[in-house]
Structure 1
Amino acid sequence: MSTPHRYSDTVQTVLDALDGGIAPDRLALRDAVRELLADLRSRVPGRSVEVRVPPYGAIQCVEGPRHTRGTPPNVVETDPATWLEIATGRKTWHEAVSTGKIRASGVRADLSAYLPL
């Protein structure tokens, strides 16, 4: 499957490891997750959805009512490998949700319109 654009060397190295069934270097995985989260935040600015990829990062994105205290009403949470798969188009949003790889709650928590990056 071809990627929609050229990813950084860090992201590509992690994707190659995952594609090969090899556990990627932990620091490279962290950096790749953070890079793609930052890309999503810059493409879809806002503060109505919190996207969590523990233990590496969390961002707020998507226009709409701003969340300021307590648990956000719109939350997306997934593991690092799944985040890389959906952010780069190796897996669709709907595939990941239907298999339980993404937990999404709230009316604005569907990010399928913004992915892959």
Structure 2
Amino acid sequence: MEDLHSALEDRSLAVSTVPQKGRSLFTTRDFYPGEVILTQEPYVSVPNNNSSVSAQKRCDRCFTTTNLSKCSRCQTVWYCGTACQVLSSSSPFPFPLFRLIREVLCTLTLV
């Protein structure tokens, strides 16, 4: 927990408990509009093929919107190239559940 507090402090952030709200994240300085405070890689993503949503097609790994081709296996998710498809199939996560979720998503037929 000390490592977390140290890492947050380096980014001008702090964790504190607010009565009746619980643990909360606060800034310890003013941030500029548009300044990135935190980033995190997603644990899992799901294709959104709902035509009523104006979501743009994106690479399932790097989220780019150019040079897209459907996954050669499931024909559902999109990749910007072979490299992203290969990297996506060899998940960096040590948890087998993430690989299982991705495999299941590739076998689903969306209607």
TM-score by length of 2: 0.22
Bigger Rg, structure 1 or 2 = 2
TM-score by length of 1: 0.21
